[in-house]
Chains A and B, each alone.
Chain A
Amino acid sequence: MLDNLSAAVGEDDGRKTILKGLSLEVPAGEVHAIMGPNGAGKSTLSYVLTGRDGYEVTEGSAKLEGKDLLDMEPDERAAAGLFLSFQYPVEIPGVPVMTFVRAAINAQRKARGEDEISAPDFIKKAREIGQILNIDAEMLKRPVNVGFSGGEKKRLEIFQMMMIEPRFAILDETDSGLDIDALKTVADGVNALRSPERGMLVITHYQRLLDHIRPDKVHVLAKGRIIKTGGPELAEQLEKEGYDGILGEAA
Chain B
Amino acid sequence: MTATDLLPALKNPTEAERQLVDLFSAYNGDENQRRSFDIFALTGLPHRRMEQWKWSDVRQAVTSLQDGSANRPSDISAPDEAISIEFDGQSWSFPDELPEGLGIFPRTGGHDFGQADRLPMGALTAAMTGHEPADTLIIEVSGKVAAPLSITVRGGARSASFGRLVFILREESHLDLFEHYSGGAGLASYLVEFGLAEKAQVSRTILQEASTKDVTAITSTAHLAAEANFEQTTLAFGGKLTRIETHLEHKGENAKAVLNGAYLAASGYHVDFTTHVTHGAESCVTKQLTKGAVADGGRGIFQGKFLVPRTVGQFTDADMQHQALLLDNGAEIFAKPELEIYADDVECEHGNTSGQLDDEALFYMQQRGLPKTEARALLTEAFIVEALEKAQDGIREQLIEATRKFLRREREQA
Contact = CB atoms under 8 A, between A and B. Distances in A.
Interface of A: 50-53, 73-75, 77-79, 83-84, 86, 89-95, 100-101, 103-105, 107-108, 111, 143, 160, 164
A78 B359 contact: no
Interface string B39-80: 000000000000000000000000000000000000000000
A108 B361 contact: no
Contacts of A143: 382
B364 A73 contact: no
Contacts of B370: 75, 103-104, 107
B364 A78 contact: no
B372 A73 contact: yes
B369 A107 contact: yes
B252 to A, nearest CB: 36
3 tightest Cβ-Cβ pairs between the two chains A and B? A94-B382, A108-B369, A104-B368
B347 interface: no
Contacts of B365: 92, 100, 104
What's the dominant secondary structure at chain B's contact region? Answer: helix
Given A75-B372, A103-B374, A93 B367 contact: no
B385 A94 contact: yes
A50 B369 contact: no
Contacts of B372: 73, 75
A104 B369 CA distance: 5
Given A52-B363, A86-B364, A100-B368, 4 more contacts: A92-B365, A95-B382, A103-B374, A107-B371
A101 to B, nearest CB: 8
A52 B371 CA distance: 13
A105 B369 contact: yes
A83 B369 CA distance: 9
A78 B382 contact: no
B332 to A, nearest CB: 24
B386 interface: yes
Interface string B345-362: 000000000000011110
24 contacts: A73-B366, A75-B366, A75-B369, A83-B367, A83-B368, A84-B367, A86-B364, A90-B358, A92-B364, A92-B365, A92-B379, A94-B381, A94-B383, A94-B385, A95-B378, A95-B379, A100-B365, A101-B368, A103-B378, A105-B369, A107-B371, A111-B369, A111-B371, A143-B382
A113 B265 CA distance: 34
Contacts of A91: 361
B383 A78 contact: no
Nearest to A106: B369
B364 A90 contact: yes
Given A93-B383, A95-B378, A78 B366 contact: yes
Nearest to A77: B367
A92 B381 CA distance: 12
A75 B364 CA distance: 10
B369 A92 contact: no
A115 to B, nearest CB: 15
A73 B379 contact: no
B356 to A, nearest CB: 13
Contacts of A75: 366-367, 369-372, 375
B383 to A, nearest CB: 6
A74 B367 contact: yes
Given A94-B383, A94-B386, A74 B361 contact: no
A78 B361 contact: no
Nearest to A86: B364
Nearest to B384: A94
A233 to B, nearest CB: 33
Contacts of A111: 369, 371
A91 B360 CA distance: 9
B101 to A, nearest CB: 38
A113 to B, nearest CB: 14
Contacts of B386: 94
Contacts of A93: 382-383
A86 B379 CA distance: 19
Q: B360, B371, B374: which has the most chain A beta carbons within 10 Å? A: B371
Given A103-B374, A107-B371, A74 B382 contact: no
Contacts of B374: 103, 107
A164 B369 contact: yes
Contact of A164 (B360, B366, B368): B368
B359, B378, B381, most chain A CB atoms within 10 A:
B378
A52 B2 CA distance: 70
Most buried by B among A100, A101, A164: A100
Contacts of A78: 366-369
Nearest to B378: A95
A104 B378 CA distance: 11
A174 to B, nearest CB: 15
B384 to A, nearest CB: 9
A106 to B, nearest CB: 8
Nearest to B382: A94
Interface in B175-204: none
A188 B379 CA distance: 32
Given A78-B369, A103-B370, A107-B374, A89 B364 contact: yes
Interface string B372-400: 10110011011101100000000000000
Interface in B200-242: none
Residue from A52, A89, A107 with most neighbouring chain B CB atoms (10 Å): A107
B391 to A, nearest CB: 16
